[in-house]
Amino acid sequence: MARRTPPHPERYKWIALTNTTLGMFMATINSSIILISLPAIFRGVGINPLSPGNVGYLLWLLQGYLLVTAVLVISLGRLGDIMGRVRIYNLGFAVFSVASILLALDPYHAGSGALWLVLWRLVQGVGGAMLFANSSAILVDAFPSDQRGLAMGINQVAAIGGSFIGLIAGGLLSIGDWRLVFWVSVPFGILGTIWGYVSLHDNGKRTAATIDWWGNLTFAVGLTSLLVAIVYGIQPYGSSSMGWTSPRVLGAFIIGVVFLVAFFAIETRVSSPMFNVRLFKIRAFSTGSFAGFTAAISRGGLQFMLIIWLQGIWLPLHGYAYSATPLWAGIYLLHLTLGFLIAGPVSGFLSDRQGARTLSTTGLAIFAMSFIGLLLLPTDFSYWVFALMILINGMGSGMFSAPNSTAIMNSVPADQRGGAAGIQAAFMNSGMVLSIGIFFSLMIVGLTNALPTSMFKGLSAHGVSVTQAHAIANLPPVGSLFSTFLGFNPLKSLLGSQATAHVSNAQWAVLTGKHFFPSLILAPFHHGLIIVFSVAVILSLIGAVFSAMRGKRYVHQELSVAEHLGDASLSSGAVPGEVAVEGEVVR
């Protein structure tokens, strides 16, 4: 077969941008579409979210995709450096499409149906990891250094925009049929696969290297163990409201730490590491990476908290039926997407001229201030004040993301871009999974302290027997938390037929209506929200400090890895990220 002639670089860069933007949009829309669709999926498969053990299905449907991408992106990014980024990227589109089809064709019911969905979500995560790991590197290969900020800005707008458009799409599609939530990805996946094969070309540097099998193995086992520990740490254990002290969780943490320590020891010794720890000697890379990681933790739990707030509390209190809350929660979060859409491309364009330090640092500071604004809102807020706060939050996130990603990718040698993009994606997805563990745990702590009293008083005041009210009030709060997340009123299920002997018809109507449960959880949720958003503020400000330390705008010139990262160049008295020995400072 004749070799295809690559198009002119000026034309090809826009082809690469359009295709990778489609890939990022598809991958991120699928990471969020399921958030808003879970009530319909649980009803369609026949899963009761309050039954013992079913919280595990929910957590794996949420976390499994992120876990797989976090574990595999570094390996797949490095594999792109060796075998060709476009090849791995196109394969990602194909894997993602096949997994989407099989998710939509789930032939089972109840637990078996849920396991089918969990399994193919994991496979879908493999395809997503291939896309995440190589899209940034393909863009940086295609665009000159003075246009990469704009390209990354557009690409990241698609990523963040996709995550919030997924909320609305999930709400709309789940009204019709929950399977549509998975079918919607299929045409995008087929289009991206064919178009990528026809139009994309590997024009980046390849690394002649062997695959780091021991590094891949220890990293996969270590990170998987840590992330699995987080998933099970959120769930109740024995008489405790969470499982952080269970042998399974403690054992998984120990295994994770041991394997990750072994991984870093291996990576400093092998000739072709999958995770090039020497890249962290470049200040622009290391400070940008740490800033991105803390920002990912802050941002990751935000979606979940806002969905719980809207879907389980604010919307029912304002008269919305529980069946309609997924769609309206997505609509009411549009201002968050709008803020990112406004700030993302503009900040990326400006970073091509000014560098990332001022824009990214200011963006994270604004991001932190928006959390303070949300924290000060009453739980039953005025919507337009809430909309302003999430608009500011989205703008701060947009100001940070594109300049930071561009600065990181500009700072590394051309033959390390796939690995560098993989490291960034791993930091982002690990931060998202970690944030869910941190934020949910903090929220459960807040609910544990305040919810039992509120629940007992409310139930007993409306005719429920003292014994039953006490038993329900002292159930692990994780059930109530996930009920609010799913937009589900749990009281009818929790009270059962036993309560009808003690309460009147009018009291029963109140107990199982739209307003009672949201009113019960209103004050305890705000107590937890103060803890959660306070931590988010601290993490955002830590990220801003890292961002401020990155130095001036730095673009790595095409030197070899040895020239760029050798001890001799780093010991020349120059500061990585600002010197001419390692690259080029663009002022």
What are the pLDDT digits (tens) for 171-185?
777 777 788 888 888
Arithmetic mean of pLDDT over the chain: 77
How many other β-carbons are positioned within 10 Å of the β-carbon of residue 121?
25
Write down the CATH superfamily of domain 9-211+272-447+525-583.
MFS general substrate transporter like domains (1.20.1250.20)
What is the average per-residue pLDDT within 84-113? 86
Comparing 145 with 288, the larger pLDDT belongs to 288
How many whole angstroms separate alpha carbon 470 and alpha carbon 460?
9
SS3 state of residue 428: helix
92 pLDDT higher than 90 = no
What pLDDT band is residue 572 in, cutting at 50, 70 and 90? Answer: very low
442 pLDDT higher than 70 = yes
What pLDDT band is residue 556 in, cutting at 50, 70 and 90? Answer: low
What pLDDT band is residue 579 in, cutting at 50, 70 and 90? Answer: very low
564 pLDDT higher than 50 = no
What is the average per-residue pLDDT within 533-545? 90
Q: What is the pLDDT of residue 575?
A: 38
pLDDT above 90 covers a percentage of the chain that reads: 5
What pLDDT band is residue 549 in, cutting at 50, 70 and 90? Answer: confident
Q: Which two tokens stand for residue 491?
A: 């009281």
What pLDDT band is residue 577 in, cutting at 50, 70 and 90? Answer: very low
Q: What is the pLDDT of residue 573?
A: 33
CA angle 479–483–484, rounded 5-degree value: 120
What is the average per-residue pLDDT within 552-564? 55
Strands 554-555 and 584-585: antiparallel
How many whole angstroms separate alpha carbon 459 and alpha carbon 465?
8
What pLDDT band is residue 567 in, cutting at 50, 70 and 90? Answer: very low
Q: What is the pLDDT of residue 584?
A: 39
- Host H or E run for residue 554: strand 554-555
475 pLDDT higher than 60 = yes
Contacts of 135 (CB under 8 A, 6+ apart): 20, 23, 24, 89, 155, 421
For residue range 483-515, what is the model confidence (pLDDT) as tens digits? 766 666 777 777 765 555 567 778 777 877 778
What pLDDT band is residue 349 in, cutting at 50, 70 and 90? Answer: confident
What pLDDT band is residue 532 in, cutting at 50, 70 and 90? Answer: confident
Q: Which two tokens stand for residue 183?
A: 């079918």
Minimum mean pLDDT among 109-113, 196-200, 379-383, 497-501: which range? 497-501
What pLDDT band is residue 576 in, cutting at 50, 70 and 90? Answer: very low
pLDDT above 70 covers a percentage of the chain that reads: 82
Helix, strand, coil percent values for the chain (each to nearest 5)? 75, 0, 20
What pLDDT band is residue 386 in, cutting at 50, 70 and 90? Answer: very high
What pLDDT band is residue 434 in, cutting at 50, 70 and 90? Answer: confident
**pTM score, two decimals?**
0.75
How many whole angstroms separate alpha carbon 219 and alpha carbon 229?
15
- Closest to 144 in 3D by CA, of 584, 521, 547, 512: 584
Q: What is the pLDDT of residue 5?
A: 55
104 pLDDT higher than 60 = yes
SS3 state of residue 585: strand
Q: What are the C-alpha distances in Å from 516 to residues 133, 171, 319, 508?
A: 46, 24, 12, 10
Comparing 566 with 296, the larger pLDDT belongs to 296
Q: What is the pLDDT of residue 391?
A: 92
Q: What is the pLDDT of residue 8?
A: 60
What is the average per-residue pLDDT within 441-450? 78
Q: What is the pLDDT of residue 206?
A: 60
**Mean pLDDT comparison of 208-217, 431-440, 519-528, highest-scoring range:** 519-528
**Mean pLDDT comparison of 68-77, 151-160, 255-264, 338-347, highest-scoring range:** 255-264
How many whole angstroms separate alpha carbon 316 and alpha carbon 326?
11
What pLDDT band is residue 387 in, cutting at 50, 70 and 90? Answer: very high
